A and B are shown apart, each in its own frame.
Chain A
């Protein structure tokens, strides 16, 4: 992983195994799609952070505020200077998402365990059901960092300026063939398709079979050469609810060293339902390199 733009944000399962007991300075956080998975067994001394119950406020349809975030950290024994190592299921989708939310609230030292939960399990490393508890900290809340989060009006401006947008969903979702299930319209978008001009680069193209990130050369071949993205141009990534795109946000930002990448967490569930904004259906246009 040495030649990534910011290799210091990625650690191996072996590194984590060697730091399990460094709980004064390091907090291991498991963040999963599945709310029960942590409880079936987790890395020793890892705490759980749930993307719905801990990070979101459903009443305002937003993330918890900075004070709630600080409380969450205090309760999990995370101080402002604690190094937080994230890992999780589904190729680290939710680990990247939690990482992104921590960055949003200005937490400085965040790491991702390459390969996530699956790699740890596949390597027969220890799991425990014992839930650790750490002394509460005193966490100073910080204002959310607008540099990594895109809101819809900004996305609209970005689109109109023909700046690069990356749709990281599956080609079927991108083309607009898959919408919500007929009985449950509240879970999907009213329209199927993508933001006009967006490239379609499914998030999974950045991952190896074992869930680790691909080497830098392969990532550059996909994102720069094939898709014509430019590390010096402002770029916005989105998906359905902002989780898969935090994986791509991580790749562009830390592994390829893009200057300015934002995650549009409102993503298709917002854009697909907005009144008065355009969408496109079908295959991507020829890439405008």
Chain B
């Protein structure tokens, strides 16, 4: 689903059901591939604004396709669910899809009013990291530096 379709799905239902959908997404975050675990364990690619250790690795390949890998502890289901939404909407998509996505996606999803403004800081930081890194890495050069350069 695109981020727009996911947002529509959220907007259609009442707040309690929005929480249910979020829970569902938190269950669906794919496990982090083994080869990325050492990066996580070394504390690289972390979203520092989050109170929980949120690992988000953003790669853009030579064809300008975005690849996302993430790990979020089960004790932080809201961050897990939001990360899971971002993976569903943007993993494997052209960089332009990320760059053209709405800047205030939490508002579009109706998550900000659901969880309260005070709690959105970490989630906004996850999204900001995604957008920032995609912008930085997309079109970063023909010399293979994009793939060679680890994010963070």
Contact = CB atoms under 8 A, between A and B. Distances in A.
Interface of A: 33-37, 39-40, 52-53, 56, 58, 89-90, 118, 181, 183-184, 186-187, 241
Contacts of B26: 36, 40
B125 interface: yes
Nearest to B79: A34
B117 A36 contact: no
Contacts of B117: 58, 186-187
Contact of A40 (B23, B114, B115, B128): B23
A35 B119 contact: yes
Given A36-B22, A36-B26, A52-B118, A89 B75 contact: yes
Contacts of A33: 51, 119
A34 to B, nearest CB: 5
A34 B76 contact: yes
Interface of B: 19, 22-23, 26, 49, 51, 74-79, 81, 114-121, 124-125, 128
Nearest to B114: A35
A52 B114 CA distance: 9
A52 B116 contact: yes
B59 to A, nearest CB: 23
Nearest to B117: A187
Contacts of A52: 115-116, 118-119
Contacts, number: 57
A40 B26 CA distance: 10
A89 B115 CA distance: 16
Contacts of B125: 181
> Which 5 residue pairs spanning A and B have beta carbons closest together?
A52-B116, A36-B77, A35-B115, A34-B78, A36-B78
A187 B121 contact: yes
A37 B117 CA distance: 18
Nearest to A241: B118
B76 to A, nearest CB: 6
Tell which of B23, B115, B118, B119 has the most Cβ of chain A within 10 Å: B118
Nearest to A188: B121
B77 A34 contact: yes
A181 B128 contact: yes
B23 to A, nearest CB: 6
Contacts of A118: 75
5 contacts: A34-B78, A39-B23, A39-B77, A58-B116, A181-B128
Contacts of A187: 117-118, 120-121, 124
A33 B79 CA distance: 11
A263 B77 CA distance: 29
